[in-house]
């Protein structure tokens, strides 16, 4: 391993900034987390943070970017499938997968009003939420479908948040979220004995 010239490379610092930011955002909310806290937590000055992200908003967007991309791809894939149940099944599985792999982050994205406002200002996030909701809601007709879908999406996101479900590993969490989600939505478990 060729030693990086400095103690840690520049790219590394940028990534570490994003990591501690996610942790702090999820622990203290976006509005409740100052740049000073982030800098202190990492042992650098605010100026170093500024070097990588000129505004707190920019930092947040950089953090969100990968999840946003995955989410969009998932929605488009699911919408391309035939069959209401197949679409819901795919959407649900992918949503859980992304959420579990980014535990702390999703809770922030999904429920922090400050974050949601900012997302709305920069992206067509409303449309994306509508489409996610519709994919799950179509399993049941009328309000029942929409309300079930809302409960499931919000529940998955919020339940994996900080301090909750910490004592389950990813695989366990995924399986049981999937089962509970299927039941709430009225999805039969897919028959994959042949698979």
Partner DNA sequence: ACGTACGGGACGGCCCGTTTGT
Partner DNA sequence: ACAAACGGGCCGTCCCGTACGT
Give the distance, in angstroms, between the CA of residue 93 and the centroid of all CA atoms in the same chain: 13
Site for a second copy contains 164 (CB under 8 A): yes
SS3 at position 52: helix
Closer of 61 and 158 to a second copy (Cβ)? 158
Can you tell me which of 15, 28, 34, 164 binds DNA, judged by CB under 7 A? 34
Can you tell me which of 15, 45, 69, 126 binds DNA, judged by CB under 7 A? 45
Site for a second copy contains 22 (CB under 8 A): no
Kindly report the backbone phi and psi dihedral angles of residue 189, in degrees, each rounded to the nearest multiple of 5, phi listed first: -60, 130
Site for a second copy contains 57 (CB under 8 A): no
Site for DNA contains 57 (CB under 7 A): yes
CA-nearest of 90, 51, 96 to 74 is: 90
Site for DNA contains 56 (CB under 7 A): yes
Can you tell me which of 1, 2, 3, 47 binds DNA, judged by CB under 7 A? 47
12 C-beta neighbours (distance < 10 Å), count: 12
Sole window of 1-9, 69-77, 82-90, 125-133 interacting with DNA (rule: CB under 7 A)? 1-9
Instruction: Give Cβ neighbours of residue 24 (< 8 Å, ≥ 6 apart).
Output: 33, 37, 38, 41
Can you tell me which of 60, 88, 112, 137 binds a second copy, judged by CB under 8 A? 112
Can you tell me which of 32, 45, 48, 76 binds a second copy, judged by CB under 8 A? 32
How far apart (Å, rounded) are the C-alpha atoms in residues 11 and 1?
Answer: 17
Query: Shortest gap between Cβ of 7 and a second copy (angstroms)?
Result: 22
Site for DNA contains 54 (CB under 7 A): yes
> How many Å is the maximal CA-CA distance in the chain?
61
Site for a second copy contains 99 (CB under 8 A): no
Ranges of H-type helices in the chain: 10-28, 35-42, 46-52, 56-80, 84-101, 103-111, 113-122, 125-137, 142-159, 170-185
How far apart (Å, rounded) are the C-alpha atoms in residues 18 and 60?
Answer: 8
Q: Footprint of a second copy on this chain (CB under 8 A)?
A: 26-32, 107, 110-114, 117, 143-144, 146-148, 150-159, 161-162, 164-165, 168, 172-173, 176-177, 179-181, 183-186
Q: Name the residues that contact DNA, by CB under 7 A.
A: 5-6, 8, 10-11, 13, 33-37, 44-48, 50-52, 54-57
């Amino acid at each position: 391993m060729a030693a990086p010239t400095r103690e840690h490379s520049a790219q590394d610092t940028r990534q570490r900034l994003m990591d501690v930011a996610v942790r702090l955002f999820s622990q203290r909310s976006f509005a409740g987390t100052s740049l000073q806290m982030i800098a202190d937590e990492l042992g650098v000055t605010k100026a170093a943070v500024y070097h990588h992200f000129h505004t707190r908003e920019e930092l947040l967007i950089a953090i969100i970017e990968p999840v946003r991309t995955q989410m969009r791809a998932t929605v488009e894939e699911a919408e391309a499938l035939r069959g209401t149940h197949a679409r819901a099944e795919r959407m649900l599985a992918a949503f859980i997968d992304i959420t579990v792999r980014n535990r702390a982050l999703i809770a922030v994205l999904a429920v922090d009003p400050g974050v949601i406002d900012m997302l709305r200002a920069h992206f067509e996030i409303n449309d994306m939420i509508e489409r996610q909701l519709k994919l799950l809601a179509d399993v049941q007709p009328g309000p029942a479908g929409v309300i079930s879908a809302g409960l499931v999406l919000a529940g998955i996101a919020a339940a994996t948040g900080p301090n909750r479900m910490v004592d389950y590993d990813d695989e366990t969490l995924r399986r049981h979220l999937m089962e509970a989600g299927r039941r709430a939505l009225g999805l039969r478990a897919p028959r994959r004995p042949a698979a």
